[in-house]
Amino acid sequence: MPGEMSPGRSGDARVQAQDHVAVVIPAFNEAEALPIFLAEIRTSFAAAGRTVSLIVIDDASTDRTTEAAAALAEVVRSPVNRGHGPTALSAYAEGLRSGAGVIVHVDGDGQFYGDDIVRVAVALDRSDSDVVHGVRRGRTDPWFRRCLSALVRFAVLLLCGRSVPDVNTPLRAYHPDTLARLVGGVPSDALVPHVHFSIAEARKRLRVRYVAVESIPRRGTVVQGTMWGTGRSRVLLPPRRLVRFAGRALAELWRIDIAGARRSPRPVATVRG
Q: Domain of 182: which CATH number?
A: 3.90.550.10
Query: What range defines the domain where residue 257 resides?
Result: 4-263
What's the DSSP call for residue 116?
A: H
CB burial readout 101-132, b (16+ within 10 A) else e = bbbbbbbbbbbbbbbbbbbbbbbbbeeebbbb
273 in any annotated domain: no
* Helix pair angle (176-183, 193-203), 10° resolution: 110
Instruction: Tell me whether residue 272 is in a domain.
Output: no
> Which residues is 105 bridged to in the sheet?
24, 172
Task: Identify the three-state secondary structure at position 49.
Answer: coil
Closest-CA residue to 26 (of 210, 190, 181, 235) = 190
Distance CA 30, CA 112 (A): 15
Say what the pLDDT of residue 263 is: 56
Shortest CA distance to 88 belongs to which of 195, 201, 245, 248?
Answer: 195
Q: What is the dihedral of CA 91, 67, 37, 238, to 10 degrees?
A: -70
Block mean pLDDT (10 aa), the chain, length 273: 46 54 97 96 97 97 97 97 97 97 96 97 90 89 70 74 88 97 96 95 94 90 44 61 81 83 50 37
Q: Is residue 92 part of a domain?
A: yes
Cβ proximity of 108 and 86 under 8 Å: no
Is residue 213 a part of any domain in this protein?
Answer: yes
User: Is 216 domain-assigned?
Assistant: yes
The beta strand positions in the chain, using DSSP E, are 4-5, 21-27, 52-58, 74-77, 102-105, 131-137, 172-174, 208-214
How many domains does the chain contain in total?
1
